[in-house]
Structure 1
């Protein structure tokens, strides 16, 4: 089958057609920017039948809007034209549809889906390996721990010999913790929102009255990330790796 109008598949497996290419094939005299809105008045819905596609035009280097049409919409638009070119386009789309639904193409699509799943599984294995290498430092990866406890974890699991005070210095230098003032050593809000730290309020009992304080805790997610960074950064420093 000769390709009169190019087709492609979207992420959902639908056959789609460029509105601009269809307009050009149909030899419509009305400019595309006026013609296409008229076509949508036949009951087509954006997001269901077509989607906008903004690209940089190769000639004038300007942003240009195309519309990607599902095959059913392209067929109907071709029929609406009531011209020989419209009839030719519709017949072509029917052939495309027939080929798409042939047993050979169904098998091919099934194999492509399977290949995609295999690739996703391979990527997941690589991602899991990252957690095996660094993270499952924490079988307790759901639990949050204080700085002192994290120092012990990374020494026991990875041999990173960095003391509690040095780790505080490192976290401040890297911008994870606030450096000075009343909130010194508290995690910055952005890292709390990223799920790396949490700030747990505690009550300190004093003779002059109870005072609320805060304890910086590293979440399971934060432990995984920080262990990875520390291993990468200090792997060649004998003073920090036991």
Structure 2
């Protein structure tokens, strides 16, 4: 709601939804009515329609040393306000009515109509631009969130989530169950080709140091019954998630074909 001002303003006129309005309490004071506001309003508002000629509003007014209090007020159309001025049958009523007529004339001036039309059009353009910008920003945030969460989504759909490390053979079974058909030894070879596991004889199938640091694998060192030491490679939950997502997204397709050809002797 905005305020419309004229020279030698007699009563404040506000504009809401392209309609001029005045406060019933302001008019009541300006007309110098002696009766209580509520009694005056009850007697003079019967012939008018709510939400057409007037709207109920609450106003806050200060009380001395007691904060503020809310009072019932009414936002009147200019037409209703002019008729209430006539009903007062006083010189003040005539003065206020003539003032409101001038306000109305200025409002209906062709230049003012054009100005309001341009203002409304500009506001609509700004609103559309704002909505467009907000929609674009919302879409960008959603796209970023989808991209960020994509791995979790794919992983959640692909397997039962494991909260513990598993052997490479068990990971091969999980991949196969989800359409990436591969055997244990083939998966070992794929991981060697992709530099996740070492291909050196002295550390065959042992995770590369950087992969352990990234938390994708871990190693345990064990002894056989005859006392010989050996290492076992485990795929951590983080590593399972990482490898499964890459496999299901086709990131291993080229090396997968190479591995399958070499192991099947095609």
What TM-score, normalized by structure 2, do the two folds share? 0.52
**In structure 2, what is the Cα distance between the partners aligned to 1:132 and 1:122?**
15
Matched, 1:164 2:177: no
**In structure 1, what is the Cα distance between the partners aligned to 2:79 and 2:12?**
15
Q: RMSD value over aligned CA atoms?
A: 3.0
- How far apart are residue 108 of structure 1 and its match? 1.5
Matched, 1:6 2:21: no
Which residue number in structure 1 is paired with residue 101 of structure 2?
Answer: 94
Q: Answer with 1 or 2: which has the greater Rg.
A: 2
**In structure 2, what is the Cα distance between the partners aligned to 1:126 and 1:136?**
15
Relative contact order (alpha carbons < 8 A, sep ≥ 6): 1 or 2 greater? 1
Unaligned runs of 5+ in 1: 138-152, 170-238
Cα distance, 1:57–1:159 mapped onto 2, change above 3 Å: closer
The alignment of Structure 1 onto Structure 2 pairs a total of residues equal to 154
Matched, 1:104 2:108: no
Which residue number in structure 2 is paired with residue 130 of structure 1?
Answer: 137
Unaligned runs of 5+ in 2: 1-6, 162-237, 246-266
What TM-score, normalized by structure 1, do the two folds share? 0.57
3-state SS of 1:62 partner: strand
3-state SS of 1:69 partner: strand
- Describe the superposition over 1:119-174 as per-residue Cα deviations: whole angstroms up to 9, x where unpaired: 1111121232034314469xxxxxxxxxxxxxxx94xx5574223179x99xxxxx
**In structure 1, what is the Cα distance between the partners aligned to 2:16 and 2:140?**
37
